[in-house]
Structure 1
Amino acid sequence: LSLPLPLLSAILFSLRVCRAADIPEDATSEFSVRLYHQLQAAGDQDNIIFSPLSVAVALGMVELGARGASLEEIRQAVGFSHLLQGVEFSLLQNLTTALTDDDANYVIRFANSLFLQEGITFNPEFLHLMRKYFRAEVETVDFSESAAVAEQINSWVENHTESKIRELLSAEDFSSVTRLTLVNAVYFRGSWKNQFRPENTRTFSFSKDDGSEVQTLMMYQQGDFYYGEFSDGSQEAGGVYQVLEMPYEGEDMSMMIVLPRQEVPLASLEPIIKAPLLEEWANNVKRQKVEVYLPRFKVEQKIDLRSTLQELGIKKIFTNDADLSAMTDGKDLYIGKAVQKAYLEVTEEGAEGAVGSGMIALTRTLVLYPQVMADHPFFFVIRHRRTGSILFMGRVMTPEVIDPNDHDFDSM
């Protein structure tokens, strides 16, 4: 009996701060960077967006049910092997609890659910720990009714992401041998500490790394941000590149943008990205007045976590060698499917919405302050500033494209 387990992580991110969390400095940053490099290798000119935190939570839920080598592979890959076994569950619990603290500064919805096959008996201790550490809801379904199950789970995801993530799964994702599905949904919305004024947004050319150009809406502001210029010590990454850190309200969270020189493709800079370098950037940017040109962008991506995680050494849980015996007494349970869908929208406020205004081409002017002109591909990280924990990571190869010929443009 083969038991595929779609493991889903549906994420919506519309930018908001979160409270400090009791997690060790950089526990999973190496894992985050390795995940990024896997995704980068898979897509040449594609935007990337994923949540390392959400992958860690989803794997934590699986880890609760794993034993032996299956358990060790997860702990090793995620970066928990130096901790006493079991400590990581409290760490993940503390982070998710901190995220869901009632706070007027931001809107966050964090929800986990287990969908179980009717008639299968799961270990009561496993279900207890799932509720304890991940506040996971438990529902029973009949996976042989695949269309109905897909509809039920999609509705659940949609409800927990304010309708931003739809149709995550289809009937083809399930069969009569599916026994367990894990779903993890995060909705996150917030504001920049220094918002962009919509009336300063203009049409601008964005130069892609393949040499083509697209028209996009470029936001602009002059403000106090954390800024630094770094050198990779060679010419491979084009020598000097810029790092801009833009805090969200409350300053717990920030978005860090890493921008190579205009003529340098992002692919030249990506190989040098390593976990210690993220720390170096964070520790060396200095608060100063900066002119920022940042395109509005919306990126979403559905990731096959199964193949990505296998590349990172988490293999057994996806094969007949899996030991998930802490979940159920059945010895033949394994994960057949693992998916994450992430969504990120960046606008003038940092949150959803914001309408475009006066679309007039901008020209570069002589300025006294450092200028960050993100009119070509860049890398970004959204992190918790105190712990260095990475909530989102990705790159923008193509921002939102606008058509200069559409009627909105003409009316301006």
Structure 2
Amino acid sequence: MKKLLNRYSMFYILVLACICCSSCSVKKEHDLINDQNYKVEQEKEQVIPQEDLSDKNIQDNSENTSDIKTKIEEDDLPAENYGNKNNLSKDFLQNFYDFTEQTFAHIIRDNEGKNQIYAPFNFYLSLSMLNELSEGEAREEIQKALNISDAKNNASELNTALSSLQERRLFPIGRLNINTSLWLSDEINYKDNLLNMLQSQYNTEIFKGDLKDREFQNLMTKWVYENTNFEFQPDYQSDYHKSFDQLDQHTFISLSTLDFYDEWLNPFNEEDTKPDTFFISDNEKITCDFMNMEAWSHPFMVGEDYISTIFILKGGAEYMLFILPKEVLSVDELVEEKGKLAEIIYNWTDGQVSDGKISVGKVKLSIPKFAYEDEIDLRKTAEKMGIRKIFDINSKAFSLFADEDTYITDIRQVSKIEINEKGCSASSYTEIAAVGAVASKDEAEVILNRPFIYILYKDKIPFLAGVVRNPIG
């Protein structure tokens, strides 16, 4: 089966090699931390959307920027980790597939009837960083939820995964960027060895300043804005952020971003896009635009209670997996079945044949165009996975990291996605706020005209998953 899939991929690669590639704009990259200091460069330009800030530039003010720097030993500078080409271990991948399935199931359960979009890799990465900063029972809970026993080995695997996800293989059409940053209060002492480790092992940018200061908050907004390809500008003066417990006692805010864009290797013809019926439920249906195609030598998998297929993107290693449950089964019921989603992901990413389910043949594709945005409360998800001590004010979960009693108040993720005839784009940011108290057929039809699941993955690593219940809602 691997040979068939490889042959399929090579077929499209050869076809694509005959096509002239047009240049596309790539998002401006954020300045990295240089030399032995964590620092914020002098800001020349303001990008904040709020009306009362529209005319205000971040000035070169020593009171606001000089304290953002914090010393790092030269030996602790980031290594060239992104050159690591080692393969990910099967144990890491299986753990991550299980994590993706479990967290996705919790999210769907908490948001019944809604479209969902979720970035599992960013959540896993954020929890792994919290694991490095915590101790005692809090650390045990995180390690149990992630099913890891060796934090150093997990960091190494994550570094390999990040390298693989962000490497461009063929044509420089698209992008997949994942970035992390940690924003610290200048009123609190932190353990330098842990800050050094986060920068070198997790490629995390570190900023230090007054978390109550509007200009420092503007820098956080600007960082998210630039690292999501100018899609999100969180307002740290909003009622949501002001509602954080003990806002004036923040000890750190962790941010993780995802920015993805790529074009289909075999794009849809716009002339074939037609309106058709999407069945939201037995009693509700809508009309929306469907992209249509008949593809030859196309892989698909038929299971007992689902059919699935993949669509290849030009990057050379990115795929979009579509999973359609049988009519008698809802997406919620499929995801709730323990091991089901993880097995589907594993079979596709590893090219495994299970009872002859994966086939290659003629596939009729009909996919609704969709675009939507979603926000998830990941604190609920973490708690349901047994992670509770980091939210306990009395747990002293982060005494290893900071000299104040610190606990997490909020974990949230905001994401958006759009697919059309040309390709797929998606962006997401994950925010953690901490305060201190002080196939068996030769042909198939994949008609996605009822709620379905999609998963974007690259090099066996799912980085985005979602449910479409209403393409225009």
Q: TM-score, structure 2 length as denominator?
A: 0.70
SS of the equivalent of 2:266 reads: coil
Q: Residue in 2 aligned with 1:28?
A: 96
Asked if the contact 2:106–2:381 (Cα under 8 Å) also holds between the matched residues in 1, the reply is yes
Count of residues paired in the alignment: 355
SS of the equivalent of 1:86 reads: helix
Stretches of 4+ aligned residues off by more than 4 angstroms: 147-150
2:255 is the counterpart of 1:189: no
Asked if the contact 1:241–1:259 (Cα under 8 Å) also holds between the matched residues in 2, the reply is yes
2:154 is the counterpart of 1:88: yes
- Alignment map for 1:2-401 (pairs within 5 Å): 22-25=87-90, 26=93, 27-81=95-149, 84-101=150-167, 104-145=172-213, 148-167=215-234, 169=236, 170=238, 171-172=241-242, 175-209=247-281, 211-223=283-295, 224-231=297-304, 240-262=305-327, 264-272=329-337, 273-280=340-347, 283-284=352-353, 285-319=358-392, 320-330=394-404, 332-352=405-425, 369-385=443-459, 388-400=460-472
Asked if the contact 1:266–1:377 (Cα under 8 Å) also holds between the matched residues in 2, the reply is yes
Asked if the contact 1:297–1:347 (Cα under 8 Å) also holds between the matched residues in 2, the reply is yes
Distance 1:74 1:226 in 2: 37
SS of the equivalent of 1:301 reads: strand
Distance 2:124 2:138 in 1: 15
Q: Which moved more, 1:253-262 or 1:39-48?
A: 253-262
What is the letter of the counterpart of residue 244 of structure 1? T
Give structure 2 stretches of 5+ with no counterpart. Answer: 1-83, 427-441
Asked if the contact 1:206–1:375 (Cα under 8 Å) also holds between the matched residues in 2, the reply is yes
Asked if the contact 1:64–1:326 (Cα under 8 Å) also holds between the matched residues in 2, the reply is no
SS of the equivalent of 1:121 reads: coil
What is the letter of the counterpart of residue 309 of structure 2? L
Q: Which moved more, 1:165-174 or 1:25-34?
A: 165-174
Asked if the contact 1:21–1:95 (Cα under 8 Å) also holds between the matched residues in 2, the reply is no
How far apart are residue 151 of structure 1 and its match? 3.6
Asked if the contact 2:212–2:248 (Cα under 8 Å) also holds between the matched residues in 1, the reply is yes
Distance 1:341 1:304 in 2: 9
Relative to its length, the structure with more helix (as a share) is 2
What percent of counterpart residues are identical?
Answer: 21
Distance 2:203 2:243 in 1: 25
What is the letter of the counterpart of residue 292 of structure 2? Y
How far apart are residue 286 of structure 1 and its match? 2.1
Distance 2:323 2:86 in 1: 25
Residue 180 and residue 193 in structure 1: after superposition, are their counterparts in 2 closer, same or farther (change >3 A)? same
What is the letter of the counterpart of residue 89 of structure 1? A
Asked if the contact 1:23–1:95 (Cα under 8 Å) also holds between the matched residues in 2, the reply is yes
Residue 118 and residue 345 in structure 1: after superposition, are their counterparts in 2 closer, same or farther (change >3 A)? same
1:121-179 deviation digits (Å, cap 9, x = unpaired): 2111111111112221111232234x555443222211111122233653415511111
Distance 2:185 2:306 in 1: 52
SS of the equivalent of 2:281 reads: coil
Distance 1:278 1:110 in 2: 21
SS of the equivalent of 2:197 reads: helix
What is the letter of the counterpart of residue 283 of structure 1? Q
Residue 20 and residue 220 in structure 1: after superposition, are their counterparts in 2 closer, same or farther (change >3 A)? farther
SS of the equivalent of 1:153 reads: helix
1:85-119 deviation digits (Å, cap 9, x = unpaired): 42101111121223333552531332211111123
Q: Which moved more, 1:159-168 or 1:95-104?
A: 95-104
Q: Which moved more, 1:185-194 or 1:164-173?
A: 164-173
Residue 164 and residue 283 in structure 1: after superposition, are their counterparts in 2 closer, same or farther (change >3 A)? same
Asked if the contact 1:228–1:286 (Cα under 8 Å) also holds between the matched residues in 2, the reply is yes
How far apart are residue 21 of structure 1 and its match? 6.7
Residue 306 and residue 267 in structure 1: after superposition, are their counterparts in 2 closer, same or farther (change >3 A)? closer
Distance 2:410 2:336 in 1: 29
SS of the equivalent of 1:323 reads: coil
Distance 1:394 1:23 in 2: 24
Asked if the contact 1:209–1:265 (Cα under 8 Å) also holds between the matched residues in 2, the reply is no
